[in-house]
Structure 1
Amino acid sequence: MLTYHRIQSIQDPHFRSLHELLGTIFPPEEVLAYDLWAEPLQDPGIHVYVALKEEAVVGATEYRYYPDMRVAMTDFTIIGKPALGIGRFLLTNREKDLKRLAEQSGTEPIGMFAEVYDPYRAVSHEFGGVSPMNPIVRREVLSHIGYRRLDLTYVHPSWEHTGEAVSELDLCFLPRSEELDAIPAALVVEFLTTYYSALPNKPQAWLDMIQQLRSREEVRLLAL
């Protein structure tokens, strides 16, 4: 039986296992350093949950909801071991919690953002840790759930605080309405500038991307 457990401090006895799992699944530029998690975990708007099986961390997810923008963001979803139903467990519990957060704020969500590697552009496919976390598998799972790819050349600042641009990813969006084929470019700008406000060193490629978005009215949602 799996347990959905929220982590709100690096002192939580399960945090070290979570951080080790992050380092197994993702490349270094995608993982925030251990000590730098202390402040984000205390932010009530950041929701980090682990899936526990007999007190062992076997999966995890992080997400947040922005009521002013009426959008959510899935920071990551991790499956640490196959054939335990972890992915479905994390998805359903996250959906319930996001529904609760939206109801508390009196808002109706538009949809949810997520970043995903494009394995056909990535130099290496060796990261992922276990087969369900292979970049090709992760991308197909998001596609099956209903995520769409935003029509832009996407980069983001490195979480290593180096100021480098991380490419080979796509920014995706899961619209609440399947009939939605585009979202306002201003919404994308507001989301990205808010989400990456914690990283002070922005690469020029990221600044250029934001500037280009400011000149557009909308961003199309394409097949993932």
Structure 2
Amino acid sequence: MILLANPNTNAETTMAMCAIAARILPEIQGWTAPHGADLIHTPALLAQAGDQIAQLQPPQGCRGVIVSAFGDPGAVRLAARLDIPVIGIGAAAARAAGAGGRSFAVATTTPQLVKGIDRLMKAHAGQGRYLGCFLTDGPTLSVMKDPALLDRELLDASRRAAAAGAQAVIIGGGPLAEAAQRIDALCPVPLIQPIPEAAALMRPLT
């Protein structure tokens, strides 16, 4: 069994992310943070989520943990504690996007998290060239509450990234996973979906 750990408190988001991961990992189990925010959109909330993830106790029989928030909060500290693999969806996405030396960018809804995303992408891009974040327009929480608006904004950000030279675009956010699937066919360059990328890395363990 692989554990998908959702660092935010929204159980519906956990279920949606598990459903996506289950297409690759049938034996997936979800975990939802008991405290914190239902959407991580500030550095303070990301740090709080990281503290909870770092203390996570996986259930018996767990063979690996996916940290399913794009900033990978607490993933490094959790990996240092456990004797099973821990993969953050941000690192997994950067690894896939930069494969073969591609230039890539991130489309996301969280302007306050850009600095952390930039560091994470550069750390895991390999030979790829990271071009930065392209943001949706409007307040994060308002955009996230309107699926049609979210899709339009993410697609616009993805198109701007492609116009700037990105050969692949990551949709940066665990809660954005369903939107990423909805706009995949419309994106002018390959769209990198973080949860499936992390699930693919865990598949050999099952």
TM band (smaller chain): 0.3 to 0.5
Kindly indicate which of the two structures has a greater share of residues assigned to helix: 2
Kindly indicate which of the two structures has a greater share of residues assigned to strand: 1
**Greater length-normalized contact order (CA 8 Å, ≥ 6 residues apart):** 2
